[in-house]
Structure 1
């Protein structure tokens, strides 16, 4: 039996990014492969014809490359942290149907997937938690979820495409509370400057009737801007299109490499890494 997803539901908003990851796997097989996305799309009863049509356009294909690079970069950071903290908690903030934690599993880490209750309900149907894995229903801004995380072996938190929808003050408050609760932990996420965030937010802000786009989280120079939030933060960043991979692969055209340079340069599309130092 295939799992049926209706149009215009919360569930639909989760399977579209999942479908994008499947398309990434087909378009850029040497750069990216998400076996879980490929398998799940096959197990879902949903009319993908519109998404399929869109996915072949030039900008959608570049969008797929963006998704692929972002997921690869975050996975790199997870694996890098696990080299020195093999028993760490790996925490996917706003997980949707993403399986990055599982794909980075080293056999001894603890994996946590966090999202709103309706998202976790769907995840439990399609991606039930495996060994050493837990899916937690929560609002990320209500830090009660901290109690659920066993960070005795260290903690790596990552967020993919999440903080664009947070107010700057919400991200700042969350980061400060995490620094209190998880000294020695690391938070990794994607970010971009104000111009890029306005483009990302255009559609959903309109439907939410939100006027003040400027209040939403955006960053140009992560180190200088975010270090001011708290003296314990060790902030670094790398461009997420070309900071980890030079994209010199036959599947990536010269034009897309040019767009990647624009993304890294003018849009400041970056992976931000924040280390939490000792307590105040």
Structure 2
């Protein structure tokens, strides 16, 4: 039996990035491989014809590359933290149907996948939590979820494509709350400057009838803009297209490498890393 996904539902919004991760795996096999996405695509009953028609588009293929690099970068940061904190909590904020936490499993960490209740309900159907893993329904903006994370061995939090939909003040409040609750922990997430966020947001903002795009979270210089939020924060960033990988792979054209440089330098597409000062 395949799990049916209807059009124009919240569940459909999870299928689209899943399809992107599957396409990344096919187009850039030396750079990215998501076995979970490939498997889930076979278990879902959904009309992919519209997505398949667009997948030959040059910019769509670059979008798949963006998705691949973002997931790779976040996974790199998670694994880097686990080298010094092998028993840490690995927390996927706004997880959708992403399985990065399990892909980074070192055999002793604790994995938490957090998202809205209806998203977690679908996840429970398709991605049952494994050993040392929990799927937690919550609203990320409500700090009640802090108490559900066992950070006794450290904690590394990551968010992929999440904070573009938060107001700047909401991100600041969340980061300050996490600094209080998880000293010695690390948060990593993707961000971009105001121009890029306007491009990302144009469709859903129109649907939501939101006019004040400027209130949404955007970053140009992470260290100078975010460090003043709290004296305990250690902020750094790297370009997310080429900050971790030079993209010198046969599957990536010279034109795509050029676009990647524009993304990192012009749009300030970046992975932001925030360390929460203090000892565990």
TM-score, structure 1 as length reference: 0.99
Task: Tell me the SS of whatever aligns to 1:161.
Answer: coil
Distance, in Å, in 2 between the alignment partners of 1:245 and 1:121 is: 35
Task: Tell me the SS of whatever aligns to 2:243.
Answer: coil
Distance, in Å, in 2 between the alignment partners of 1:264 and 1:87 is: 33
1:54-69 correspondence runs (5 A)? 54-69=54-69
Q: Which residue of 1 aligns with 2:265?
A: 265
Q: Which residue of 2 aligns with 1:250?
A: 250
| 1:151 Cα deviation from its structure 2 partner | 0.1
Task: Tell me the SS of whatever aligns to 2:47.
Answer: coil
Q: Which residue of 2 aligns with 1:84?
A: 84
| 1:55 Cα deviation from its structure 2 partner | 1.4
Number of paired residues?
A: 279
Distance, in Å, in 1 between the alignment partners of 2:56 and 2:131 is: 37
Q: Which residue of 1 aligns with 2:193?
A: 193
Q: What's the RMSD between the two structures over aligned residues?
A: 0.6
Per-residue displacement from partner, 1:83-115 (whole Å, max 9, x unpaired)?
A: 000000000000000000000000000000000
Structure 1 gap ranges (5+)? none
Distance, in Å, in 2 between the alignment partners of 1:278 and 1:84 is: 15
Per-residue displacement from partner, 1:196-245 (whole Å, max 9, x unpaired)?
A: 00000000000000000000000000000000100000000000000000
1:147-186 correspondence runs (5 A)? 147-186=147-186
Q: Which residue of 1 aligns with 2:22?
A: 22
Runs of 4+, deviation exceeding 6 Å: none
Per-residue displacement from partner, 1:127-168 (whole Å, max 9, x unpaired)?
A: 010010000000001000000000000000000000000000
Q: Which residue of 2 aligns with 1:234?
A: 234
Distance, in Å, in 1 between the alignment partners of 2:29 and 2:56 is: 16
Q: Which residue of 1 aligns with 2:50?
A: 50
TM-score, structure 2 as length reference: 0.99
